């Protein structure tokens, strides 16, 4: 059942898109809350900073950035025999 060198499976999912999904949904909910549904009491709590709105917008921006990153540098599906790190001796970097 387990062939040890079956090659790397393609990554079934990209964690960047999941992060974008989470931040996107949170951002959308918070922005709507901030724009219309945050009571004056809640506003006063935070010293009249509409933190829902601002945090919401920031999260939306972050979500867009993650999607952009995932689009610009999509996951590379490694070649079948990338089981071990190739022992490339071509470096000059010292430790």
Partner 1 sequence: MVLAQANLRLDANAIDYLLLAFYFTLVLGIGYLAKRQVSTSLDFFLSGRSLPAWVTGLAFISANLGAIEVMGMSANGAQYGMPTAHYFWVGAIPAMLFLGIVMMPFYYGSKVRSVPEFMLRRFGKPAHLVNGISFATAQILIAGANLFLLAKIVNVLLGWPIWLAIILAAVVVLTYTALGGLSAAIYNEVLQFFVIVAALVPLTIVGLVKVGGWQGLVDKIGLAPGSQPDVNSWPGTNITGFGSPFWSVVGLVFGLGFVLSFGYWTTNFVEVQRAMASKSMSAARRTPIIGAFPKMFVPFIVIIPGMIAAVTVTELMGANRTALVGDKSAPSGATFNDALLLLMRDLLPNGMLGVALAGLLASFMAGMAANLSSFNTVFSYDIWQSYIKKDRPDDYYLKLGRWVTAGGTILAIGTAFIASTYANLMDYLQQLFSFFNAPLFATFILGMFWKRMTATAGWTGLVSGTLAAVGVFLLSETGAIDLPGQGASFVGAGAAFVVDIVVSVAVTYATAPKPEAQLVGLVYSLTPKETRQHSTTGEDAGWYRNPALLAGIVLAITIILNIIF
Q: How far is CA 92 from CA 27, 86, 89, in A?
A: 46, 16, 9
Among 19, 57, 67, 70, binds partner 1 (CB under 8 A): 19
Q: Which is nearer to partner 1, 13 or 72 (CB)?
A: 13
Beta carbon nearer to partner 1, 12 or 72: 12
Nearest-CA neighbor of 65 among 76, 54, 73?
73
Sole residue written with tokens 């990209």: 14
68 binds partner 1 (CB under 8 A): no
From residue 17, give the alpha-carbon distance in Å to each of 20, 27, 55, 56, 61.
Answer: 5, 15, 20, 18, 14
Binding residues vs partner 1 (CB under 8 A):
1-2, 4, 6, 8-9, 11-13, 15, 18-19, 21-23, 25-26, 29-30, 33-34, 37-39, 42-43, 45-47, 49, 51-52, 54-56, 59, 62, 76, 78, 82, 84-91, 93-95
């Amino acid at each position: 059942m387990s062939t040890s060198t079956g090659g790397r499976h393609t990554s079934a999912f990209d964690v960047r898109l999941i992060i974008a999904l989470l931040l996107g949904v949170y951002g959308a909910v918070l922005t709507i809350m901030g724009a219309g549904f945050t009571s004056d009491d809640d506003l006063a709590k935070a010293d009249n900073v509409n933190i829902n709105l601002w945090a919401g917008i920031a999260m939306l921006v972050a979500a867009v950035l993650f999607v952009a990153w995932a689009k610009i540098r999509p996951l590379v599906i490694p070649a079948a025999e990338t089981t071990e790190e190739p022992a490339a001796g071509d470096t000059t970097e010292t430790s």
